[in-house]
C-alpha cells in the first residue's frame, strides 16, 4: 500500500468513525440537529473535510450541504437584519447553499461572481484584485474562504473596500485562522506538498494568523468579530465556537 492509498483509507475510516460518533451522541442525548438555512432536522450533521485532511465530525448538512461556517454566518446575518428591498449583493466564489438561499429573494440585485466564469451560478467573471464595479456600489459583500487563495490579498482587500457602500454596507470577509500570532506566507512554499504542509491545503498561498484583522484595518475597514451564540445553539446548529466570523464596515 503506497502513501496515497494509506491516507485514502485513513480518511474513509475516520469519516465512518465520525458519523457513528455523531449519531450515537445525538441518540444518547435525544437531541436532534437543525440547519438554520434549510430548516431540515436530523440526528447529526455529516463529517466533512478536504482530503487528505481527516474529516471534522458534525459538519455538513445532509440536506443543503451547509458547513459550520455557513450556518454561523447565516445566524449573524439574521441578527443584523441583513435584508433590504433593492439591495445589491456581491458574492465571491458562491457557496452552493448560500447561492440558492440568496436566489429565493426576488427583490435584491444579487451578483454571484468568480474568476472562473464556468463555476455554477456565476453571473459575471470578476478578478477580486480588479473588481469591475463602481465605487460604493454594494450593500453586502460575501467573501468566505477566498482570500487565502489570492497571491495579492492586500490588493483584493482594497478593492473590496472600494466597492462597499460607506456607513450602511457590510462585508463578510472570512478566512481560516491558524493558531499563530502572525500570518505565515513564504514564496518558497510553492509546491502542493509544501503548501499542504504549511498552509493546510494545496491551493492556499498563506496561513492567516491572529493579525488577520490588522490586514483588514490596513485596507480601511472597521472590523468586528461575531461571537454571540448560546452554547445550546452551538450544538443545535452544529457550529464551532472557535469559527471566527469577521464583519466589516466602511466608515
pLDDT at 52: 59
CATH code of domain 68-249? 3.40.50.150
pLDDT tier for residue 227 given thresholds of 50, 70 and 90: confident
Q: What is the CA radius of gyration of the chain?
A: 19
Question: H or E element: which one contains 197?
Answer: helix 192-199
Whether residue 6 is predicted with pLDDT greater than 50 in this model: the reply is no
pLDDT tens digits for 120-158?
A: 789 999 999 999 999 999 999 999 999 999 999 999 999
Cβ atoms of residues 128 and 92 within 8 Å = yes
pLDDT, greater one: 52 or 231: 231
**Percent of the chain predicted with pLDDT > 70:** 85
DSSP bridge partners of 184: 207
pLDDT tier for residue 51 given thresholds of 50, 70 and 90: low
Q: For the chain, which residues make up each domain, given as ranges?
A: 3-60, 68-249
pTM of the entire predicted model: 0.85
Concatenated DSSP letters of 88-131? EEEEES--HHHHHHHTT-SSSEEEEEESSTTSTT-SEE-BTTB-
**Residue 111 neighbours by CB under 8 Å, 6+ apart:** 88, 89, 90, 91, 123, 124, 133, 138
Amino acid at each position: 500500500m503506497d502513501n496515497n492509498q494509506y491516507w485514502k483509507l485513513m480518511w474513509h475510516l475516520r469519516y465512518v468513525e465520525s458519523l457513528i460518533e455523531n449519531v450515537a451522541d445525538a441518540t444518547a442525548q435525544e437531541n436532534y440537529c437543525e440547519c438554520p438555512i434549510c430548516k431540515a432536522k436530523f440526528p447529526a450533521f455529516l463529517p466533512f473535510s478536504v482530503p487528505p485532511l481527516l474529516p471534522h465530525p458534525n459538519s455538513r448538512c445532509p440536506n443543503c450541504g451547509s458547513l459550520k461556517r455557513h450556518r454561523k454566518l447565516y445566524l449573524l446575518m439574521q441578527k443584523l437584519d441583513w435584508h433590504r428591498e433593492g439591495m445589491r449583493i456581491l458574492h465571491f466564489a458562491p457557496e452552493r447553499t448560500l447561492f440558492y438561499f440568496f436566489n429565493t429573494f426576488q427583490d435584491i440585485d444579487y451578483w454571484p461572481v468568480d474568476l472562473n466564469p464556468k463555476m455554477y451560478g456565476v453571473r459575471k467573471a470578476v478578478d477580486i484584485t480588479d473588481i469591475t464595479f463602481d465605487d460604493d456600489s454594494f450593500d453586502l459583500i460575501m467573501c468566505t474562504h477566498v482570500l487565502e487563495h489570492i497571491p495579492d490579498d492586500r490588493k483584493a482587500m482594497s478593492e473590496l473596500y472600494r466597492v462597499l457602500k460607506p456607513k450602511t454596507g457590510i462585508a463578510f470577509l472570512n478566512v481560516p485562522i491558524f493558531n499563530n500570532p502572525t500570518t505565515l506566507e513564504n514564496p518558497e512554499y510553492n509546491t502542493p506538498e509544501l503548501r499542504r504542509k504549511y498552509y493546510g491545503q494545496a491551493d492556499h498561498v498563506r496561513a492567516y494568523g491572529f493579525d488577520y484583522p490588522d490586514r483588514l484595518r490596513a485596507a480601511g475597514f472597521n472590523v468586528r468579530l461575531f461571537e454571540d451564540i448560546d452554547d445550546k445553539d452551538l450544538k443545535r446548529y452544529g457550529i464551532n465556537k472557535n469559527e471566527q466570523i469577521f464583519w466589516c464596515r466602511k466608515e
